[in-house]
Amino acid sequence: MQRHTFTALNSTFIVDSEYQFVKELGQGAYGCVVAARHRRSGEGCAIKKITNINTKVHLDSAIHDGS
């Protein structure tokens, strides 16, 4: 799998090269979110980078948020 990097919301994202950065969506308690697009299908998605997990309670909450 090829990867590439981009910087958004003062954070560096390392993602599969099949995904292209579109725009910044925002920051929250656990990290930041950007919009991306799958290069071949054109389908949009959100990528969340979790940067502030320091306890099991926070981790459980972040996992629940992603489902």
Residue with tokens 């560096």: 12
Domain ranges of the chain: 3-65
Give every CB contact of residue 19 below 8 A, 6+ residues apart in sequence.
36, 37, 38, 39, 45, 47
- The second-level CATH assignment, the architecture, of 3-65 is 2-Layer Sandwich (3.30)
> What is the reported pLDDT for 65?
61
DSSP codes joined into one string, 39-53: TTT--EEEEEEE---
Annotated binding residues for ATP, written as ranges, equal 49
CB 20 within 8 A of CB 37: yes
3-58 per-position pLDDT tens digit: 999 999 999 999 999 999 999 999 988 889 999 999 999 999 999 998 876 655 55
Annotated binding residues, written as ranges, equal 49
